[in-house]
Amino acid sequence: MRANLLFVLLAYSLISLGQSRRDDEVNLAFNNEPLEVILDSLSAQTNYFFSYNSDLLPKGSLYTIKAENEPIDQFLSRLLVGTGLKYSFFKDQIILNYEPPQQIIKKKNLFTISGNVSDENGKPLSGTNIFLDGTTIGVASDIDGNYKLESIPPGFYNLVFSYVGYENGVYQISESNGGSRIQNHQMTPDLGQLEEVEVISTRIRRAQDSWLSHYMVFKRELIGLSENAEACVIENPEVLSFNYDKPSNSLRAYAKEPLQIRNDALGYRVSYFLESFLKEGDDLRFRGKMRFRNLDPINGTERREWKKNRKESYNGSLNHFKKSLLEGNLKKQGFRIYSLRSLDDFEIDRDNQMSESDILIFKRDHYALDFRNYLIVEYRKEKESVGFLLHSGFTQLLHAKHLTNEGVLLKDPGYQISIIQLLRGSVRIDLSGEVMDRFGLTTFGYWSWERTADLVPINYDPKYDNL
């Protein structure tokens, strides 16, 4: 075969009454081996015949994978994760089409969502905010209650309807084939009944039980303590109210309107639709929906500064990690991943590095993130910030060996370290990298320390920043 072929042919010769042998089981083990070596070894051990163009195989990637009585198709699914090679059975052949996930997405048509919004009486409701959570894609309904969201990349989204005095409407939208969709919504009045939520939280070290002291705690936790946080302003703090319970030392926050957060470090205005905020002890839990809008730079210098800061915020982030994972280039992008059995015995075993195929499974129209216990994600292209080391609260977990008896950290900034825990057996991820299972995973370390001030939209692409 020639290097310009668009596919790789993987064929094996078996005599089985003309039946496909996809259920044949294999027993193999490889440790840090190139894909070509694995294919050759598989051929030698099973008498399968492989035919492929070596130029299309990933260069420089090493694979650690083990199979015990595993069907050949399941083994290949795990082996080929992140390579851009997709297989299909045809009689006694397995045909692999080469097309990386991100290229698949770009070739598919963008899609459109449109519809009508009405109030509880069925009358058109103009001025309703309709947006895709965490993105820059959003509009307001017109005088007749109509709206239209256009040029949406294929993927999984939460479509949000929001209007002051009404409960938010949320629909899960998943699209991979382009086209258009219609989603109407009738708003339900918010009767002011506060949702009962679990209390987890943070000790309030304030002498006075006042609105201002609670607001300062709230802002610090929502916006963060990074350098970008210093350039963020909540423009309408008056919409906030707080409920402080002295016996439990717990603080709850509520907002009667979306918070308007101006981020002069990244050039965004974020409308934050607060759903819950709970703080007590050393733990924190809050959630909300976000709509991003670009600010207008005053000159070319500010535009370039915003672009640089956005790229720096994106690099090493959870979204960057997910995209690199799907494209199969974690190492090239600066990530290393390791298994962790328990947070009580935190230590990185750098001799047992994992690969994409150890944690990611392809399932036709989506991926599944699947691993046991915890996953350590180390980002090597940026160092920890001094603020993280001094204020994050993760120092005792990540750098316990470098603490004195008085709790003073004797360590220079190192690689950024984050930890992922799956909250169910496996978590679905769509082809664009968005997590499809709400509350399917949680993070610790660097990713959880960076807050709203360091977030870019989920549809952000450093190559195509439309600022």
The reply to whether 95 and 113 lie within a common domain is: no
Same domain, 67 and 156: no
Which of 124, 151, 186 terminates a domain? The answer is 186
Q: Which long-range contacts (CB under 8 A, 24 or more apart) does 189-198 make?
A: 189/120, 189/165, 190/165, 190/166, 194/254, 195/275, 195/276, 197/252, 197/276, 197/278, 198/278, 198/285
Exposed / middle / buried, residue 219 (Cβ in 10 Å: 0-12, 13-18, 19+) = buried
* pLDDT of the residue at 166: 94
Residues 330 and 273 in one domain: no
Q: Is residue 141 part of a domain?
A: yes
Could you tell me which of 49, 50, 47, 76 has the C-alpha nearest to residue 63?
76
Q: Indicate whether 410 belongs to any domain.
A: yes
Q: Are 335 and 360 in contact (CB under 8 A)?
A: no
Same domain, 243 and 352: no
Which residue in the block uniquely carries the two structure tokens 């939460």?
158
Ranges under pLDDT 50 in the chain? 1-20, 103-105, 107, 193-208
Residue 78 sits in which domain range?
Answer: 7-99
165: CB partners within 8 A, 6+ apart: 189, 190
Is the domain of 23 the same as that of 146?
Answer: no
466: phi then psi, degrees, rounded to nearest 5: -90, 30
- CA distances, 56 to each of 60, 104, 180 (Å): 12, 17, 35
Give the pLDDT of residue 17.
34
* Cβ atoms 102, 327 nearer than 8 A: yes
Are 153 and 70 contained in the same domain?
no
- The CATH number given to whatever domain includes residue 57 is 3.55.50
Are residues 393 and 335 part of one domain?
Answer: yes
pLDDT at 22: 56
304 within some domain: no
Q: What distance in Å separates the CA atoms of residue 137 and residue 134, rounded to the nearest whole number?
A: 9
Same domain, 218 and 341: no
CA 448 to chain centre: 12
Is 301 inside a domain boundary? no
Query: What residue type is 275 in one-letter code?
Result: E
In-domain check, residue 332: yes
Does one domain contain both 236 and 177?
no
Q: Which residue has the tokens 């640089």?
A: 308
CATH number at residue 157: 2.60.40.10
Residue 327 sits in the same domain as residue 285 = no
pLDDT in tens, 397-437: 777 676 666 666 667 788 999 999 998 888 998 877 888 88
Task: Identify whether 305 is part of a domain.
Answer: no
Same-domain check for residues 277 and 348: no
Total structural domains within the chain: 4
For the sheet with 169-175, list strands across it: 138-140, 129-132, 155-162, 169-175
Angle at 133 between CA 262 and CA 382, to 5 degrees: 65
Q: Are residues 322 and 445 in the same domain?
A: yes
pLDDT digits (tens, 9 = 90+) for 94-132: 676 665 555 444 545 789 999 999 999 999 999 999 999
Helix (H) or strand (E) holding 275: strand 268-280
Domain's final residue, options 140, 170, 186: 186
Amino acid code (one letter) for 97: N
Which of these three, 54, 77, 99, is where a domain ends?
Answer: 99
